[in-house]
């Protein structure tokens, strides 16, 4: 089955703790993205990567970090510097460039809560 | 970065056609118009994309006037399962114009 797998589905963070959200895709896409969604709101871009070993900050990168060591994987770390991390986190991927580069395929999401 | 404006919510009934209009007055020449559907606690799902005129697929139609300053997503004969949030995005990643999710339109289909 081709697609994007996010894990875990639910995650709890203690104060001062860093947590890492996993995102894996087997669609052979070059580009990957991380979004945050708060209740009743749209998605906001945290980080994106258009090629392996390169990534760019999105609109709300503070308190988050990413790595892109493999084409298939784009993990997101929510650091202790992110003071309000409770949200629904969504990972997406797309081909890079052209008309279809604007079509993103999303995972099922990870819901992060603070204990 | 093109900004989009959509109605916050719309109600409809089963079997009716639902039309959602999105305004994007400062759309750039290279920008595409892309629509997504999102159910609660799920990731958005691509519905349809267009550049100009009309595009139709098995799920929806997208009407884009010549000036491209707006677009209308048309969902024919909706069912209860079409209750969702619909997002209109405008941009072109290849041109460095990131697509941005706004608040979307909450469509409620009633029996």
Helix or strand or coil: residue B19? strand
Tokens of A24: 């894996």
Residue A114 to residue A11: CA distance in whole angstroms? 9
Q: If interface means Cβ-Cβ distance under 8 Å, which residues of chain A face chain B?
A: 4, 31, 35, 41-45, 48, 50, 58-59, 88, 90, 92, 94, 96-99, 101-109, 111
Q: What are the residues whose beta carbons fall under 8 Å from the beta carbon of A55, sequence distance 6 or more?
A: A47, A48, A49, A66, A67, A68, A74
Chain-chain contact of B49 with A111 (C-beta, under 8 angstroms): no
Q: Identify the DSSP state of B71.
A: E
What's the pLDDT score for residue A100? 84
pLDDT in tens, B42-86: 999 999 999 998 999 999 999 999 999 999 999 999 999 999 999
Chain-chain contact of B94 with A103 (C-beta, under 8 angstroms): no
Q: Would you write out chain A's pLDDT as a tens digit for each of its 115 residues?
A: 569 999 999 999 998 899 999 999 999 999 999 999 999 999 999 999 999 999 999 999 999 999 999 999 999 999 999 989 999 999 999 998 888 888 999 999 999 998 8
* B66 touches A at CB < 8 Å: no
| End-to-end Cα separation, chain A, in angstroms | 35
* B99 touches A at CB < 8 Å: yes
């Amino acid at each position: 089955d081709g697609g994007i797998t996010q894990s875990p589905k639910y995650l709890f963070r203690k104060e001062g703790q860093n947590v890492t959200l996993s995102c894996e895709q087997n669609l052979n896409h070059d580009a990957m993205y991380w979004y945050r969604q708060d209740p009743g709101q749209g998605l906001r871009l945290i980080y994106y990567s258009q090629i392996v070993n390169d990534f760019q900050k999105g609109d709300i990168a503070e308190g988050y970090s990413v790595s892109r060591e493999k084409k298939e994987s784009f993990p997101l770390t929510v650091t202790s510097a992110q003071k309000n991390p409770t949200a629904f986190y969504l990972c997406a991927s797309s081909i890079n460039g052209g008309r279809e580069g604007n079509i993103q395929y999303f995972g099922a999401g990870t819901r992060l809560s603070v204990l | 970065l093109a900004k989009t404006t959509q109605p916050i919510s719309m109600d409809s009934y089963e079997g009716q056609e639902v039309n959602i209009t999105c305004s994007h007055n400062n759309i750039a020449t290279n920008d595409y118009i892309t629509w997504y559907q999102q159910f609660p606690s799920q990731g958005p799902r691509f519905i349809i994309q267009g550049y100009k005129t009309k595009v139709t697929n098995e799920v929806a139609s997208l009407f884009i006037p010549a000036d491209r300053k707006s677009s209308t997503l048309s969902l024919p004969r909706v069912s209860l399962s079409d209750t969702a949030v619909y997002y209109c995005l405008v941009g072109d990643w290849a041109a460095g114009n990131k697509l941005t999710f706004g608040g979307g339109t909450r469509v409620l289909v009633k029996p």
